[in-house]
Amino acid sequence: MINPYYKSQDKIFYLLKGDTMNLLPSFDHKFDMVFADPPYFLSNNGLSIQNGEIVSVNKGDWDKSEGFEFVNDFNRKWLSLVRDKMKDDATIWISGTIHNIFSVGQILTELGFKILNVITWEKTNPPPNFSCRFFTHSTEQIIWARKYEKTPHYYNYELMKQLNEDKQMKDVWKLPAIAPWEKACGKHPTQKPLSVLTRLILASTKPEAWILDPFTGGSTTGIAANLANRRFLGIDKEEDFLNISKKRKLEIENKATAEQFRNKISGFIDKKQFSLFLEDEKPNNEIKVALGFCRPKEVKSLRNNKTFYFHAIKDDNNVKDFPSGIYAAKKLIIYSCENDEPVSLTGHFAEIESIQLKHKSKIKGKENSKIEFYYEIKLEDCFEESEDLKFSLNQKKLFDKSDDKNIQLFQQFLPSLTTWDKLIKSLDKADAIAS
């Protein structure tokens, strides 16, 4: 496990320091949404105007281009790594300009993402064009894509319509460039405004969602995420930028400041709309439960570990995808009996830290197993058996009739997902567990 550069006290804001290409493969967490503002590769010694003065467009060494193939390779690498960190129903937003956006779009398609929209952010106050030989650059593009062609994503259609005076929200967003109050903790050369990040977070995530920014800079994504009651992990290799991020997080730990910021963020019809929306937004109270099966002897040997292995097979040895949403499961229940009679509950509840599909050759002790693939489940707490929790299940009550996918998975002895309410209803000894 890697040590975060910074972890906020409320545990909803994490920063990692280092090269995103090395750090992303080193942890297992899966995210609901990703925002990435990768280097635009425009630091080519050009000039621009800022506050009436001619300034260099160079942002830093991290933003220098070494040619077309270099940009493509860079985008291919980070996008593949980030894709592995996305839940099946997660979406990704990538901002860019003409310097990199075509490369990003092409590689998203190459890697199997489905592009949902290309948002044009029209800046209401762009810097003037210095050369007077072409149009003033006043837009940035933000591509929105989901991980798979067919797995549905989340979109808060109603809220977006509300923000656009009850008309469908369009893919052109007119929002001002960054305001001075957003830079009180120090300046990042390409800091994004909170208004843009807030809109895209509210459009594509539910409360408490986990959001990743692999090029976090001054962590506008994290600040917008926390102001909207979402959780955040950001990565950057520059310590100075991480320090700005940390200061910004500390700044909004003051409740009055956080509320002032919510009132100041552009893009809402009136200044209280953001806070009122958050009050209305109901946290998802459904507790998700992952159900799985393993052999009695494995339960025995694993009871002191934080790791379980669920068989990932079906009859013909084809591996199935884990049910979408299972990463958000808060409880884990393990059976170790025969397929049609999962009578004995041998597991315990625990927060799931990570779930990964692994080949047996990668798992110590399972190299000679007849089963090829396993789901490795890591828990935050240790496994314990609990006598009180022994019960038998009425499988028919466990899933809605319409929940074909999980019924099938359950019958095929694969991990499946249900909710705590349904589990309680399905128990023969419900009283014992409810108390």
Residue 215 makes contact with ligand SAM by CB under 6 A: yes
Is residue 13 near ligand SAM by the rule CB under 6 A? no
* Stretch 34-73: interaction string toward ligand SAM, x if CB under 6 A: ---x-x----------------------x-----------
Interaction between residue 241 and ligand SAM (CB under 6 A): yes
> 3-class DSSP state for residue 49?
strand
Find the part of the chain contacting ligand SAM (CB under 6 A) among 129-137, 167-175, 190-198, 323-331.
190-198
Q: Please give the full DSSP string across 16-47, using - where no structure is assigned.
A: EES-HHHHGGG----EEEEEE-------SS-E
Residues numbered 221-240 forming contacts with ligand SAM, rule: CB under 6 A? 235-238
Interacting residue with ligand SAM among 91, 205, 220, 416 (CB under 6 A): 220
Shortest Å, Cβ 296 to ligand SAM = 46
CA distances 150 to 76, 204, 292, 370, 435, Å, are 22, 17, 26, 32, 42
DSSP 8-state symbol, 13: E
- Tokens encoding 294: 């393993």
427: DSSP letter? B
**Residue 244, CA atoms < 13 Å, CB-side half-sphere:** 22
In the window 372-411, what residues touch ligand SAM (CB under 6 A)? none
Stretch that binds ligand SAM, among 19-27, 179-187, 276-284, 345-353 (CB under 6 A): 19-27
CA distance linking residue 14 with residue 201, whole number of Å: 17
Question: Minimum distance from CB of 214 to ligand SAM (Å)?
Answer: 7
Q: Are the beta carbons of 274 and 261 closer than 8 angstroms? A: no
Least distance to ligand SAM from the beta carbon of 275, Å? 22
CB of 233 to ligand SAM, least distance (A): 13
Q: Residue 184 or 432: which CB sits closer to ligand SAM?
A: 184
- Residue 360: CB partners within 8 Å, gap ≥ 6? 366, 367, 368, 369, 371, 372, 373, 374
Phi first, then psi, for residue 383 (nearest 5°) are -75, 140
Which residue's CB comes closest to ligand SAM? 217
Is 140 a binder of ligand SAM (CB under 6 A)?
A: no
Would you tell me which residues interact with ligand SAM (CB under 6 A)?
A: 19-21, 37, 39, 62, 188, 190-192, 215, 217-218, 220, 235-238, 241
